[in-house]
Amino acid sequence: MRSPGLLLGSWVACGPVADELLGHVALVAADEEIAGRAWLRHVGPSGARPAGISRLFVSPAARGRGVGALLLDAACAHARRHGLHPVLDVIARDRAAVALYTRYGFRLLDAVPVDLGGVEETARCLALPG
């Protein structure tokens, strides 16, 4: 996978202690991203443009507390307000991330092979319904 496209927005979750970073997510233009291309194949040229959920992380201490869902809420709402459709890709073996996205409502569009520095993995391309 490559660096994300044009940054459309980014959000951080901070804890009650000063400078405690709990998580982060970015939203990028995704027409040329793996999941964005899968979305465009799925909806055709007249569908909503894809916006890629990118660089989502939650600190280990904050996992299981809803931080990931709150970050996804912010990024997906921003995409929808701008007429874009949230998509993402995730390495299939990252079961915790796949589970989070599935619980949130993302659905599989495609599974594609990707080369990660000489290691072939499978990326799952996901999109929210609608």
- pLDDT tens by residue, 32-77: 889 999 998 988 777 789 999 999 999 999 999 999 999 999 999 9
- Confidence check: pLDDT of 1 > 60: no
Q: Are 110 and 87 in contact (CB under 8 A)?
A: no
CB contact set of 93 (below 8 Å; sequence gap of 6+): 121, 122
Contacts of 62 (CB under 8 A, 6+ apart): 13, 15, 22, 23
| Residue 69, both tokens | 């869902």
- Domain segments of the chain as ranges: 7-127
Report pLDDT digits (tens) over 84-126: 999 999 999 999 999 999 999 999 999 999 999 999 999 999 9
Which architecture characterizes domain 7-127 according to CATH? 3-Layer(aba) Sandwich (3.40)
User: Which residues, other chains included, contact 111 with Cβ-Cβ below 8 Å and sequence gap of 6+?
Assistant: 92, 122, 123, 124, 125
